[in-house]
Amino acid sequence: MKLTAAWVGVGLAVIGGMFAAGHLAIAADHLDPPARTDPAVDSTPDLPADLADIYAWQTDTKFIVALDFAGPRPTSEPAYYDRDVLYEINIANGPVKSDVTFPIRFKFGADTSNGTTRYGIKVSGVPGVNGDIVGPVQQRLEKDGVIVEAGLFDDPFYFDSQGFRESRSMGTLRFDNKRDFFAKKNLTVVIIEIPRDRIENGKNPIGVWSISKRFGGNL
């Protein structure tokens, strides 16, 4: 099981791994736990279950959440759609993480009936949606005012990993803003756009966190 989380204040945009107006966003969960997801530790890392970041932001009318995983990977590699991993995006319209108000779950499947492999996604538990949202990946899906898209996207995270390692070992800041470890790397991403009035509850902070669960253990 993997977990990554962010806490969102009403009217704020949240970027994984940063402070936003006093609210801590805990994210950037790459290669954790190392024994199952880090290629340097496990020769068969469980990439599809390896959560990376969760992003949440809002407009005047929409609440948008994006979960990415299985990365960062070279642009030559395809997206990861594993039917044996269940993903959850949990949204609470209160300050306590245990108060799960909207547990949104999604998983992937493959259709081989026409002799080729066509992947699709099923999203369940979206507030205000009658039943599930089902359709092909890499395509905009719309139902009951909600928009879902799953597919391969450029990794939006920007970070100098080399500078971080050098700063820790040398005791002085060694960051270079022109050095981005995540440049030209991809992730598999699921983006969900929901009408804001289905999520917010007055001026309460909104809690957002995600979990991945593999059926049957590691690869």
Q: Is the pLDDT of residue 151 over 90?
A: yes
Using 50, 70 and 90 to split pLDDT, how confident is the model at 142?
Answer: very high
Peptide bond into 33 cis (omega under 30): yes
% of the chain with per-residue pLDDT over 70: 79
N-to-C CA span, the chain: 13
Length of the chain: 219
Q: What is the pLDDT of residue 97?
A: 55
pLDDT, residue 122, reads 97
Q: What mean pLDDT, rounded, does the chain reach?
A: 82
pLDDT of residue 16: 35
pLDDT(104) > 50: yes
- pLDDT, tens only, 161-218: 898 899 999 999 999 999 988 888 999 999 999 999 999 888 888 888 899 998 875 4
Q: Residue 26's pLDDT band (boundaries 50, 70, 90)?
A: very low
- The band of 34, judged by pLDDT with boundaries at 50, 70 and 90, is low
Q: How confident is the model at residue 12 (pLDDT cuts 50, 70, 90)?
A: very low
> Rounded mean pLDDT of 1-29?
42
* Cα(121)–Cα(108) distance, integer angstroms: 4
Q: Which residues contact 5 (CB under 8 A, 6 or more apart)?
A: 25, 26, 27, 54, 97, 207, 208, 209, 210
pTM: 0.80
3-state helix, strand, coil split of the chain in percent (to 5) is 10, 45, 50
Determine the Cα–Cα distance for residues 184 and 178; give it in Å rounded to an integer: 14
CB 142 within 8 A of CB 213: no
| Residue pLDDT, tens place only, 40-49 | 777 778 889 9
Q: What is the pLDDT of residue 174?
A: 93
